[in-house]
Structure 1
Amino acid sequence: MSQLDPLFQPLTIKGLVLKNRFLSTSHAPGYTLQGNITERYIDYEAEKAKGGVGLLQFGGATSVAVEGSFHYGQINGSVDDVIPQYRRIAGAIHAHGAACTIQLRHGGRQERWDHDQWLPAFSPSATRELNFGVFAAQMEDHDIARAQRDFVDAVRRARDGDIDGVEIACQSGALIEQFWSPAMNYRTDRYGGSLTNRMRFGLEVLEAVRQDIGEDYVVGIRMSGDEMLRGGLNQDDCIAIAEVYADSGLIDFISVVGAQPTDTLSVARIWPTMWVPTAAYLPLAGA
Structure 2
Amino acid sequence: MNGLFSALKLRGLTLPNRIVVSPMCQYCAADGLANSWHVAHLTQLAISGAGMLTIESTAVEPDGRITPGDLGLWSDDTEAALGTVIQAIRDNSRTPVALQLAHAGRKASSYEPWRGGQLIPVSEGGWETVAPSAIPHKEGEAAPVELTKADIVRLREAFVAATRRAARLGVDALELHGGHGYLIHQFLSPISNQRTDEYGGSLENRMRFLLEVFDAVRDAWPDERPLGVKLSASDWVEGGLDIDATVTISQALKAHGADWVVSSSGGISPLQKIAPAPGYQVPFAARVKQEAGLVSTAVGLITEPRQADEIIRSGEADLVAIARAMLNDPRWPWRAAAELGAKVTAPPQYWRALPQGHADIFEHLVFGAR
User: TM-score range, shorter-chain basis?
Assistant: 0.7 to 0.9
- Per-residue deviation, 1:55: 0.5
- Per-residue deviation, 1:115: 8.9
- Per-residue deviation, 1:278: 1.8
Q: For residues 34-80 of structure 1, what are the alpha-carbon distances to aligned partners after superposition, in whole Å with 9 as ceiling and x for unaligned?
A: 32212121111111222211200112x21111212163421022222
Aligned to 2:26: 29
Greater RCO, 1 or 2 (C-alpha within 8 Å, sep 6+):
2
Aligned to 1:263: 270
Aligned to 2:291: none
Q: Does structure 1 residue 83 correspond to structure 2 residue 91?
A: no
Q: Does structure 1 residue 228 correspond to structure 2 residue 225?
A: no
Equivalent residues in 2 for 1:56-75, closer than 5 Å: 56-59=53-56, 61-69=57-65, 71-75=67-71
Aligned to 1:138: 146
Q: Flag the 1:146–1:116 CA change in 2: closer, same or farther, 3 A.
A: farther
- Per-residue deviation, 1:118: 9.7
Contact 1:13–1:252 (Cα < 8 Å) also in 2: yes
The sequence identity of aligned pairs, in percent, is: 28
**Partner Cα separation in structure 2 for residue 208 and residue 277 of structure 1:** 37
Aligned to 1:192: 200
Equivalent residues in 2 for 1:120-269, closer than 5 Å: 120-130=128-138, 133-249=141-257, 251-263=258-270, 269=274
Q: Flag the 1:15–1:116 CA change in 2: closer, same or farther, 3 A.
A: farther
Give 1 or 2 for the bigger CA radius of gyration.
2
Contact 2:66–2:107 (Cα < 8 Å) also in 1: no
**Partner Cα separation in structure 2 for residue 258 and residue 131 of structure 1:** 21
Contact 1:86–1:158 (Cα < 8 Å) also in 2: no
TM-score normalized by the length of structure 2:
0.69
Deviates most, 110-119 or 252-261: 110-119
2:187 is paired with a residue whose SS is helix
Q: Does structure 1 residue 51 correspond to structure 2 residue 48?
A: yes
1:81 is paired with a residue whose SS is helix
Deviates most, 14-23 or 87-96: 87-96
Deviates most, 230-239 or 26-35: 26-35
- Per-residue deviation, 1:93: 2.6
Structure 2 residues not aligned, in runs of 5+: 110-120, 288-370
Aligned to 2:9: 12
Letter in 2 for 1:43: A
Contact 1:23–1:55 (Cα < 8 Å) also in 2: yes
Aligned length: 275
- Per-residue deviation, 1:5: 6.8
1:84 is paired with a residue whose SS is helix
Q: Flag the 1:198–1:148 CA change in 2: closer, same or farther, 3 A.
A: same
Contact 1:32–1:73 (Cα < 8 Å) also in 2: yes
2:128 is paired with a residue whose SS is coil
Q: Flag the 1:70–1:225 CA change in 2: closer, same or farther, 3 A.
A: closer
- Per-residue deviation, 1:127: 0.7
- Per-residue deviation, 1:216: 2.6
- Per-residue deviation, 1:238: 1.2
Structure 1 residues not aligned, in runs of 5+: 270-274
Q: Flag the 1:132–1:84 CA change in 2: closer, same or farther, 3 A.
A: farther
**Partner Cα separation in structure 2 for residue 67 and residue 17 of structure 1:** 35
TM-score normalized by the length of structure 1:
0.87
**Partner Cα separation in structure 2 for residue 150 and residue 237 of structure 1:** 27
1:103 is paired with a residue whose SS is strand
